[in-house]
Structure 1
């Protein structure tokens, strides 16, 4: 009876070992299948900037933050590569290109933030490989006005994309007011007052300076952990009753922590 019990226990142990070996073998097979696609992607940058340009109160251009990914060295031991894909992580659908026609995939972000993106390749036997990538997208706004007595406000929306992993760490601004030559017999000096307000209309910073003929003044400011809303830069020109016209250039931009992935530029060709 005792020997029979030992034999039964040994048989059960052998069965368990066999089952475990089978499980391990399946994992290795799956790993081999996953590795059939050798994903190699080159990209020169992992941060880019959306650029908004306003002239005399009108938006004249808005360029998205563009990234390019070169898949040309990607290969598969399981078949021919058929598609290259990029999932931007900004709530929009993945973008795919036909690998037989093109190996460079380009995507332009229209909202700022820190994004967890995914690169992927697939062959004609549905073998795939993917790579996660963290990208940083900032927003830059420039507002230029010429020959104005009453500059319009410059605004920037600090609210990031809903899928952004982070909020802006800083808001920075640089504003220059130029008092050009009025060709008058007397010098016309203007008093410039800058006022920066957050999305709630609360004054966060202000500065005043006198600017004489053919002179300019620049104000720079930085706000840490700013409210994620539309901020406004107001500029008041006091010419003491005269109709003095000035030129204004204001720049406002977001600053995110540099948490993006490292670039992977294509290595130089051997000489």
Structure 2
């Protein structure tokens, strides 16, 4: 029997690539979007869901269960970027980012766990970020939201073991998607003390995304995780140096690693 998969944020970017790949492999795939009517030509159904709205989450999960009778895999992919000097990012925007990147997946997880317990099995894949393993300059809020989700997953895994429900993180590096267009960018203020370093870092970040890896690599990685009987806690997908940066942080003194990051961003 084909596994039923729910992918939040499945209308574009990494989520869409995952959905297409899994559909081609014979999975029954449902994606989500806050504006599903825009994606009538999607190769798999796109349902309405806002990870900040519990009602839309419950309705979509219930729709899938009523139609398919089960829900085997959930990919928490919906997320939002945010950049800027932490001092200058409005508090409301910081909270909004955590609502999407951290509390959003929590809401989805809470909505699907009763069905997975009923089935006696299930898999939840949280799409985090390599940025969540380190505090990156002018991406500090994003790093914090994704890092929080990484740690939450570690704890959740242990709580779910007795129910035969698996959970894992898949952390991408920079991929060639439209994520930069959807980020909240704190404005470059003419009188800001951060104007030049933030502007230069912003240009560098956008270049990394433009020259990022093919999103199909993430799709293949998620497929392999689904096929794995006992998934690991963490998976990192991306360019070698991005993955290696996590290793360096683990083995280098903090101040040395900080200096490497500052040199990379020319700060």
**TM more than 0.5:** no
Alignment TM-score, normalising by the size of structure 2: 0.28
Bigger proportion of residues as strand: 1
Structure ID, larger Rg: 1
Q: Which has the higher helix share?
A: 2
Normalised to the residue count of structure 1, the TM-score between the two structures is 0.27
